[in-house]
Amino acid sequence: MTNIPSPWGRWRRHARWLAGIVTIAVTLIGCLFFRFATWQPLDWPTQVDHLYGEVVQLRSDFADGKHQGTGRRQEEFYLVYRFHHDDVRAESGFVSRVRITEKAYRSYQVGGHIPLVVSRSNPSLNDTLDNYQSRHSWGNTLLSVLPFSLVGGLLFYFMLMYFSLKTHDDIMHEGFYTEHSWLDVEQRQVVFLHRGTLYYFDIDPKQIDKVRRAYQRGVDCNSLRLLSHSSYFRDLPLEEITRLSTSDRSRQLDIAYQAERHAIRFMNQAHKKHALEQIKHYLPDYMAYDETDTPIWQAGLPCVFAILVLITVSAVLQTLVGYAVCGGIIVAILLPRLLMTYLMGNRRRVWANQQAQGIVI
């Protein structure tokens, strides 16, 4: 068999490239929008005069309510200055008050002179040269926009991966299964069915590619186990298990054997269904089969609980980044999953030894 790479790796690379392109595009558009949203009449360089003003007062205040819920108060710095302009006839000149950075607050001195930018047509529009240049700095604009675009790009990446997995749930991936074995490179696990016994073991992360290539060459179970450097190995005689259960929308088989519960995950739902069809042939006849439809309200409880937790977290943080992250997870992942649960439902299938039900919890 040829060397077949993991579909997960291919999806991840495509998702990363697309998310990176979207993040760059959103950052550029966000920078342009930010500059447009913060535009002021002073931002036309050809319509301003460069003057010097006298520092009248420097003061700092603590702004209450800026960081409610975080136990912190933000210190803000202000400057009061006076300047003279041809359109201002008063001898005292024109007095203005602006907010400045802490660095400027430390460098200015009362009675000193600082460079200003004043509108030619309306002297009431004025600011310090430092503030004016800061507004025109692309670096400052990028720092204001980049955190939000990075968060948005990350959420977009996770959304792409989530929907990629959902759209490939019913596909049998060549090179990752045989009639009686299944390989999951993401969960780093190999599952074998041989003569009525189900074997499974993990794979060391450094050995994944070697195990994948060996598996696709048809190497036997024992050789794969040695090659994988596994930290655990389990064998489950199917005639001795007391319970087998799974849900239609799950990639996992839950098996109870000797008072222990084993959760075996597969690459997707199609691989799990294929394995289940093979396993059913080895189940003892005395095991009772039952299937139940999980109530819609119960099936959606995990998503509803996660949404409530994220809403609580965003309410506690009370920051734009917190709102963006929590809101993005809710809109991009949890709401689609909740809607899919309500539309499709969930059926649970159980094979159980009724006489041994008291043994396993």
**Residue 122 is encoded by which pair of tokens?**
């309306």
The beta-carbon contacts of 322-327 under 8 Å, at least 24 apart in sequence, are: 324/148, 324/151, 324/152, 325/151, 325/155
Q: What sign does the dihedral 169-173-179-185 (CA atoms) show?
A: negative
More confident residue, 69 or 126: 126
pLDDT exceeds 80 at position 67: no
Confidence of residue 265 (pLDDT cuts 50, 70, 90): very high
User: What distance in Å separates the CA atoms of residue 133 and residue 113, rounded to the nearest whole number?
Assistant: 18
Say which amino acid occupies 344: M
The vertex-12 CA angle with 9 and 15, nearest 5°, equals: 150
The pLDDT-based confidence of 88 (bands split at 50, 70, 90) is low
Mean pLDDT of all residues in the chain? 81
* CATH code assigned to 50-117: 2.40.50.660
More confident residue, 225 or 87: 225
d(CA 246, CA 160): 26
For domain 181-294+346-356, the question of CATH label 2.30.29 is answered with yes
Cα→Cα distances 248→170, 189, 242, 311, Å: 11, 21, 20, 30
HEC states along the chain? CCCCCCHHHHHHHHHHHHHHHHHHHHHHHHHHHHHHHCCCHHHCHHHEEEEEEEEEEEEEEEECCCCCCCCCCEEEEEEEEEECCCCCCCCCCEEEEEEECHHHHHHCCCCCEEEEEEECCCCCCEEEHHHHHHHCCHHHHHHHHHHHHHHHHHHHHHHHHHHHHHHCCCCCCCCCECCCEEEECCCCEEEEEECCEEEEEECCHHHHHHHHHHHHCCCCHHHHHHHHCCCCEEEEEHHHCCEEEEECCCCEEEEEECCEEEEEECCCHHHHHHHHHHHHHHCCCCCEEEEEECCHHHHCHHHHHHHHHHHHHHHHHCCHHHHHHHHHHHHHHHHHHHHHHHHHCCEEEEEECHHHCCCCC
Question: For residue 250, is it left (φ>0), alpha (ψ between -120 and 50) or beta?
Answer: beta
What pLDDT score does 243 carry? 93
Most confident of 10-14, 87-91, 349-353: 349-353
pLDDT grade for 108, boundaries at 50, 70 and 90: confident
Confidence band of 77 (pLDDT split at 50, 70, 90): confident
Residues 84-112: what's their mean pLDDT? 77
Res. 297 pLDDT band, cuts 50 70 90? low
Highest mean pLDDT among 34-48, 116-130, 188-202, 279-293: 188-202
What is Dmax (Cα atoms) for the chain? 105
